[in-house]
Amino acid sequence: MKAKKFFGVLVVLIIAGLALAACQPAATPTQQPPVQQPTTPPEKPPAEQPTTPPQAGFEPMVYGVETCDNYNGIIKEIAALDELTVRFTLCVPDPAFESKAAFTAFAIQPKEWIEAAMENRQILEKPIGTGPYVLDSWKRGDSIIFKRFNDYWGEKAKTETLVFRWASEGAARLLELQSGTVDGIDNPSPDDFQVIRNDPNLRLIEREALNIFYLGMTNTFEPFDKVEVRQAVAMGIDRQRIVDNFYPAGSSVATHFTPCSIPNGCVGEDWYEFNPEKARELLAKAGFPNGFQTKIYYRDVFRGYLPEPGLVATDIQAQLKQNLNIDAEIVVMESGAFIDESTSGRLNGFYLLGWGADYPHITNFLDFHFGRANPQFGKPFPEIYELLEQGARIADPEEATPIYEQANNKIKELVPMVPIAHGGSGVAYRADVVGGHASPLGNEYFAVMDPGGRSTFVWMQNAEPISLYCGDETDGESLRACEQVLESLLGYEIGGTEVKPALATECTPNQDLTVYTCKLRPNVKFHDGSPFDANDVVMSWVVAWDYKHPLHIGNTGAFEYFSYLWGLMNAPAEE
């Protein structure tokens, strides 16, 4: 009887095991094709291309709006003049065109690949670019592996393989670096800086503070609608104390919203001195002699501009209580929700947010935050954005200085937010890594790094990229991964902010900065072997630009950077 039962159970187990085993192989083959597929369609174009002679088969693409009236965008037309020339016609003069065009969000992918892979979202996981590395595989939740691209037009990558890994905890990243399983890590905790400096096997490179951390307020909520309240907060917080205690060396107290190393960044008056008595007076004048109750929102995410979010929030809470008798409750939010709520101006208290430079131009800081359409500080201030719109049209920084002086003074007077610090951060490498650097824009370029002769370079950053279609990503962790694979018309110098040629050998403006003509680099090949031409540039830009384009899909479909830097065509009226 017992034996019967036992065998019965055994039979059931075996059947269950067989069923499982039968399911498994069935699951793997179905997964494999999508991995292989990306390599098949790319192989088709090179087969087709040779049959049609390049000169004869080239039909230049032209794409544009008819008129600049009733259109908030900057670009009027993008036209491929011939195979290696693209002309950008703008509605308004844009002195920052080259800085912006160098940004990774405007990287070029083959026209055929965009057409083939956008709709089925393959492009999110499998970008095809011209960069020094080719994407090999992406194990979600674990790592991304890149291989050297042997047909790269420039200097080939030093290592055969590049691996991206991630860990959100600073301590965990450092531990991996110390144990030698990774060659470089991003953003070690400020407290670990000294540990790394003292370790002969490691090398710390400080990243220039090209960012801003600010205390945001939304002026559509009481009591932040009163300018006196905002000014009181500006004077009632000892910012030096925050920087001294919670920021690593290389950080500085913000005198202006924009860091000083950016032209015109800190012209005009310096920010208010810490003055609690005056602040209390102002608060009393605004009708809050005994302070008020509010909240401090933040997300618990390490950023170069805010290395210790929890501690800074607690310190600001203590300072508000002590200096202004404001009772602030601390609320930690999930990162995505926090960004959504804060940037759309729905937080009814203070919020801790910052900004890292995407491209080194003052418009990247001021125009984004204080522009006409940004609701993150509540109702935008015309006093500020009118000046900014004026300034953005002047190419020569010196000529624009008086305007930015006024704009900075207005920001100080109206206090949409309180700029607190430009946070220094760092990158740490193993000591034998040659060519290690820290980029102020956060786009470290691994092709030039040689990890002591090893064939694989392993990089560990804070988080996993969201997708590798960076036209529709804004997150630095995604952009950095894209930068290894994809290239834009122009690029930034390695470890710096100067704009240098990349896929375009030069982009020359006309007299009044409304037409830029870009000469493309000849004989550049994409990772799939297809040649790079002007139509690829037009297509890459147009899918992001035209809201009604059938391939305007991306990841979320927001195309935030394109929308904010250039403006979208056919954008819905609400925006």
Partner 1 sequence: MVTDLKVNQIKQKDYRSNSLWRLTLRRIFRQRSAIFGMALLGFLILIAIFAEVIAPYDPIQPLIGIENVSKREGPCIHLFGCPKDRPQHIMGIDGNVRDQFSRVLYGSRYSLYVGFTTVSFAILVGTLLGAISGYFGGWWDNIIMRLMDVLMAFPSLLLAITIVSVLGPGLQNALLAIAIVAIPVYARVVRASVLSVKEQAYVAASLALGGSHFHILLRRILPNAIPPLIVQGTLGIGTAILDAAALSFLGLGAQPPTPEWGTMLGTERNQVFTAPHLVFFPGAAIMITVLAFNLLGDGLRDAIDPRLTHQK
Residues that bind partner 1 (CB under 8 A): 169-171, 174-175, 189, 191-192, 195, 241, 244-246, 300, 308, 310-311, 313-315, 317-318, 329-332
Alpha-carbon distance of 190 to 304, in angstroms, equals: 10
- Counting Cα atoms < 13 Å in the Cβ hemisphere of 416 gives 25
CB of residue 331 to partner 1, shortest distance in Å: 8
Alpha-carbon distance of 370 to 386, in angstroms, equals: 10
Residue number with CB closer to partner 1 (119 or 329): 329
CB-based contacts of 322: which residues, under 8 Å, 6+ apart?
Answer: none
CB of residue 346 to partner 1, shortest distance in Å: 16
DSSP string, 540-553: HHHHHHBTTSTT--
Q: Treating both helix axes as pointing N-terminal to C-terminal, what angle do 239-246 and 309-319 enclose, rounded to 10 degrees?
A: 150
Residue number with CB closer to partner 1 (303 or 437): 303
CB of residue 229 to partner 1, shortest distance in Å: 23
CB of residue 309 to partner 1, shortest distance in Å: 10
Residue number with CB closer to partner 1 (137 or 293): 293
Residue number with CB closer to partner 1 (211 or 319): 319
Alpha-carbon distance of 215 to 326, in angstroms, equals: 15
CB of residue 170 to partner 1, shortest distance in Å: 6
* Cβ atoms of residues 78 and 545 within 8 Å: yes
Residue number with CB closer to partner 1 (44 or 346): 346
Strands 327-333 and 293-299, sheet pairing: parallel
Q: What are phi and psi of 552, to 5 degrees?
A: -80, 75
Reduced to 3 states, what is the DSSP secondary structure of residue 510? coil
CB-based contacts of 297: which residues, under 8 Å, 6+ apart?
Answer: 331, 333, 338, 341, 342, 347, 349, 350, 351, 352
Residue number with CB closer to partner 1 (300 or 498): 300
Looking at residue 133, its amino acid is: Y
**Residue 210: which of 371, 442, 404, 436 has the closest Cα?**
442
Residue 419 preceded by cis peptide, ω within 30: no
Residue number with CB closer to partner 1 (37 or 275): 275
**Residue 90: which of 108, 73, 107, 69 has the closest Cα?**
73
Residue number with CB closer to partner 1 (134 or 313): 313
Residue number with CB closer to partner 1 (15 or 332): 332
| Both tokens assigned to 253 | 């107290």
Residue number with CB closer to partner 1 (308 or 473): 308
**Residue 168: which of 342, 309, 312 has the closest Cα?**
309
Burial per residue of 550-570, b for 16 or more beta-carbon CB atoms within 10 angstroms, e otherwise: ebbbbbeeebebbbbbbbbbe
Q: What are phi and psi of 230, to 5 degrees?
A: -65, -40
Alpha-carbon distance of 533 to 476, in angstroms, equals: 28
Q: What are phi and psi of 307, to 5 degrees?
A: -75, -25
Residue number with CB closer to partner 1 (191 or 277): 191
CB of residue 572 to partner 1, shortest distance in Å: 34
